Amino acid sequence: MRSLLLALLTILLQSQEAFLVKPYLQLGDAPRPARNERLDLLWHAEDRDAAWTVEVRGGKGWIPQTAPSFRHLDVPPLPAHRIYRVTLRDLAPGAAMPYRVKQNDAVVFEAEAQARKPGAHRMIVFGDAADGSKRQAAIAQAIQAQHPDAVFITGDLVYGRGRAAEYRSVFFSCYNSEAVPLMRRVPFLGVPGNHDVPFSKHPDAAAYFAYWSQPLNGPALKAGDKNAAPVILGVHDAVVAASGAAFPRMASFSFDYGKVHWTVLDSNVYTDWESPALKVWLEADLKAAKTATWRIVALHHPLFQSSRAHFDDQWMRPISPILEKYGVDLVLAGHVHNYQRTAPLRFKPTKAGLRGKPVEGEFTVDEAYDGRAITRAKGPIHIVTGAGGAELYDLWQTDARASWQPWTRTFISDQHSFTVLDVDGRTLKLRQLDAEGRQLDGITLTK
């Protein structure tokens, strides 16, 4: 017993020294399920040479993985550091696979990676979270207690400006900590919000592109393109260099988890989803998802919501007819710091989507769907789940029903919360839970 404790203590101490950010899992450029699943494992370490190896435990013992690669990120205020990356391969679908990281032959980290599940699974979704607050930490604890198979963040991943230094102080320090060791066990996915792209002159802004590893199957954008995240030459060069092929392409992508097809859209103001470059991709992506039972669109800026805050940020509304055409079931957004759910609805825009101006049109609302007795929806249901940690908006509207749009069915703005999606075959259950794990809202969808 004593020697076991000593061994654990040694790993802990060595691991403390070895990492600036401990290993965390990402889906990597693996959008579709496979017989041999894979996950990317990333970590940050000091900018000095060391012999790193990673092993996954298979049936016959520890299997060495290919050598990790790294990129430098040398931009103040953090000291220059390395972002290491390795792909864990041949993972059995749905299995929890033990893995370990060695530095100079000493084991410095051990955990278990949850490989993508082929069927029933639990995905947890929230947005607008990492601001270093106690609320963020409480929601993170509550999420861990729900044992997700994967986590999706609907943007505003890191406050205040998506900077590398902020990732270190408020993001990894929360979701990949000893108290909440989530990111080392399950992949986190996400979409950049307005706080995650380089709208600021901080040279370490837009660290999303360097620190995340997600599919590169989105619209084939290049730096400087009209629909790509704008960077300032001479300011953001280091982050762009550390991002490789991920910049700017990784801002939008799609992936499948179980029988759910996820279409993830960069909805920042510089994108125009009515332009052919983006629209053609969106249609093709949804059209190709023929074997999926469920279709989810995830983005930062909601199409339909009732909060006074950001009410006129409606520029994504014009894509609604495309989502309806291809049978999208759920649209998950953040940006607005509260929880909202609409009735299933269809929308025909009658006016173009000018930035910051209301987008008018005709609504067809499925009044019959109630999520309990009647569970087949006619049209997408729109969810705002932006209550993941940052300060809440429009608390008074929870009890002011008259202030809600006619198609809003639930509006909870006085509590932080997150969304649990349980998908099993032709049944999808959505529950909104608070930081104590209490259910605030719940609906069922069936096919």
- Chain residues binding Fe ion by CB under 5 A are 156, 193-194, 335
Rounded least distance, CB 336 to Fe ion, Å: 8
Residue closer to Fe ion, measured from CB, 155 or 215 = 155
Which residues is 445 bridged to in the sheet? 428
In the bound state with Fe ion, the residue whose beta carbon lies nearer, of 162 and 371, is 162
In single-letter form, the type of residue at position 27 comes to L
CB 317 to Fe ion: min, Å: 17
Q: How far is the CB of 225 from Fe ion (least distance, A)?
A: 22
Residue in the structure block whose two tokens are 């279709």: 295
Pick the closer one to Fe ion by CB: 31 or 388.
Answer: 388
Question: Measured from the CB of residue 194, what is the shortest distance to Fe ion in angstroms?
Answer: 5
Which residue number, 40 or 196, has a Cβ lying nearer to Fe ion?
196
Is-contact 334 385, C-beta < 8 A?
A: yes
Strands (E) located in 218-369: 253-257, 260-265, 294-299, 330-333, 339-342, 345-349, 361-365
Rounded to an integer, what distance in angstroms lies between the CA atom of residue 91 and that of residue 88? 7
The residue of the chain with the least Cβ separation from Fe ion equals 335
For the chain, the 3-state helix, strand and coil shares in percent, each to the nearest 5, are: 20, 35, 50
Largest CA distance in the chain: 72
Instruction: Label residues 172-210 b or e (16+ Cβ within 10 Å = b).
Output: bbbbbeeebebbbbbbbbbbbbbbbbbbbebbbbbbbbb
Cβ proximity to Fe ion: between 41 and 383 the closer is 383
Q: Least distance (Å) from Fe ion to the CB of residue 337?
A: 8
**At its nearest, how many Å lie between Fe ion and the CB of residue 386?**
7
- Bridge partner residues of 100 (DSSP): 55, 110
Q: Which is nearer to Fe ion, 47 or 312 (CB)?
A: 312
